[in-house]
Amino acid sequence: MIPEILILVVSFVILLAIGVPVAWSIGLSCLFTMLFTIDSLASFTTIAQRMATGLDSFSLLAIPFFILAGQIMNQGGIANRLIDFAKALIGSLPGGLIYVNVVAAMLFGAIAGSAAAAASAIGGILGPHMEEENYSREFGAAINVTSSTTGLIIPPSNVLIVYSLASGGVSIASLFLAGYLPGILMGLALMLTASFWIKKKKYPAGNSTSIGRIFSTFLRALPSLLLLVVVIGGIVSGIFTATEASGIAVLYTFILALIYGELNRKVLYDIFLNSIGTTAIVMLLIATSMSMSWVMSYESIPQSVSEALLTLSDNKYVILLIINLLLLFVGTFMDMTPAVLIFTPIFLPVLQNLGVDPVHFGILMVMNLCVGLCTPPVGSVLFIGVSVAKTTIQKVMKPLLPLYVVMAIVLLMVTFIPAISLWLPSLFE
């Protein structure tokens, strides 16, 4: 078994190091491992079958629909209305645009379910305003990058749907409910950290607001916010499944964008083209990741890892801390979707044997990998945020460091206080 593990790991690392895309690196490393184990023809057939089988899931239909809904929101005028509401609510505070960025990213990211879409939309709209008011471009980019990841914790979240598949069927409704408090806690922690920066830089207060303006912007944003109520409420109450909810989300956002008058033939073409491209990438990642999960199971790798971890300690919090460190490391060089599909079957059985709730671990895994989205060399949201802000990674790293620390502190809180993620799901059992 040792040679097979070495072939799998070494070939994967080498392929990544020479610049081969992640999905191809996963698929080829699986193929190389199987070529060593069985004959060549059977290897090709087996990997192809496992890739096809990995996509044969009704739950996965939710992903392309949520991606399409997110694209419609991104280009349908919804982000502007959410930002206007956030500005009216807290924009009058000193350094208000920083707080607005966090709140808007939480709202938009939660509705769109995409950190990349939130970083692009919120950063693109608020960036010029921040520059006009002499905000630090680098700190604005750092806040935008980190706050955009909260939308992957606050539902609906495609990554939590992928985790449900990888875990063998953990309730998507429970995962969605479990993400609210950790996601909100992360957003508040980022705002608290930003307040120290704002005091240090002595940013002035923003334009004064009024109850009337708050109410009017809330009414404009209300139809967008109601999407969360419709989607999450329908899933939790059992009216429809997560897949059906994703279809409803597309219809709802499409009608909303038509009412807002933001859609035309050119915009629709871009929306569908971007959605198809993103879906193709995600599905290829899922297919190859499922094949790697099967190869690891075939080679008994999860059992070996489980035995190795349990020899270190039988304390679940020690094991959780070790797994957190491993996932933080994995997140720096691997995208979230393959990481969830590959490492869930390895770590989840270990933690379940120690009494850790699979819903709790799902939130921890996503939070760990969210940090990876903000770190080089593979952090996709980091690259988007830096690009939108028209700055460089080197300049953004300094203001990012304290935000990394805060994200790690919140992660540890959720790790060692399971009630933060499990309290809401327990109310609906």
Name the stretches of the chain with pLDDT < 50: none
Q: pTM of this prediction?
A: 0.83
Report the distance separating Cα 375 and Cα 397, nearest Å. 9
Structure confidence at residue 39 (pLDDT): 62
Residue linked to tokens 């966090």 = 102
Angle, alpha carbons 327-331-334 (nearest 5°): 120
Structure confidence at residue 126 (pLDDT): 76
pLDDT (tens digit per residue) in 386-427: 888 888 888 888 888 999 999 999 999 999 999 999 999 988
How many Cα atoms occupy the beta-carbon half-sphere of 401 within 13 Å?
4
Q: State whether residue 94 is helix, strand or coil.
A: strand
Structure confidence at residue 412 (pLDDT): 94
Contact 279, 67 (CB under 8 A): yes
Report the distance separating Cα 215 and Cα 176, nearest Å. 28
Angle, alpha carbons 301-3-168 (nearest 5°): 20
Structure confidence at residue 212 (pLDDT): 82
Contact 193, 185 (CB under 8 A): no
ω before 302 within 30° of 0 (cis)?
no
Structure confidence at residue 416 (pLDDT): 92
